Amino acid sequence: MRISKPYLRSTSIQCYLCLLLNSHFLTEAGIHVFILGCFSATLPKTEAYWEDVMLDLHQIENLIQSIHIDATLYTESDAHPNCKVTAMKCFLMEFDVISHESKNGNISETVKNLVFLANSSLYSNRYITESGCKECEELEEKNIKEFLQSFRHLVQMFYNTS
């Protein structure tokens, strides 16, 4: 089980840099640099996380094989590239259903991480308005395996453009 939280920056580089700067600048400015450096280590990364989303998706696929989830989910089977942000938002809302229906802590944690990573990757597209796209409720309802397969295809569309 992958427990790491890839959405946090590695703290070691920032801490070493801060210590190096602090040893040369034992002034008030050096202390400010140290504090800001430590604070920046806890901030989310800004680059796309699609590879990590794919890893979480693979883990979810493996975990659901051992349990039965009898849910149908709104699924965009063939998202047009001009509607991929709208489709991704629908998928992410449906992942909450998977988390709830599974009643499985491992699945819930992995879904939570996947949704966080995908939303972080979508952050730069948050103001994009896509017209002519289907609303979530207009999408066809499919079983979980078909849902995850369609989600994988959509993530690959984002991954190939990042």
pLDDT of 64-88, one tens digit each? 888 888 889 999 998 898 999 999 9
Residue 54: how many other CB atoms lie within 10 Å: 17
Distance of CA 67 to the CA centre of its chain: 23
Secondary structure letter of residue 136 according to DSSP: G
Average of pLDDT values for 100-123? 92
11-61 pLDDT, tens digit per residue, is 555 555 555 555 555 566 666 656 666 555 554 444 568 999 999 999 999
Q: Tokens at residue 76, please?
A: 């965009």
In degrees and rounded to multiples of 5, residue 25 shows phi and psi of -125, 75
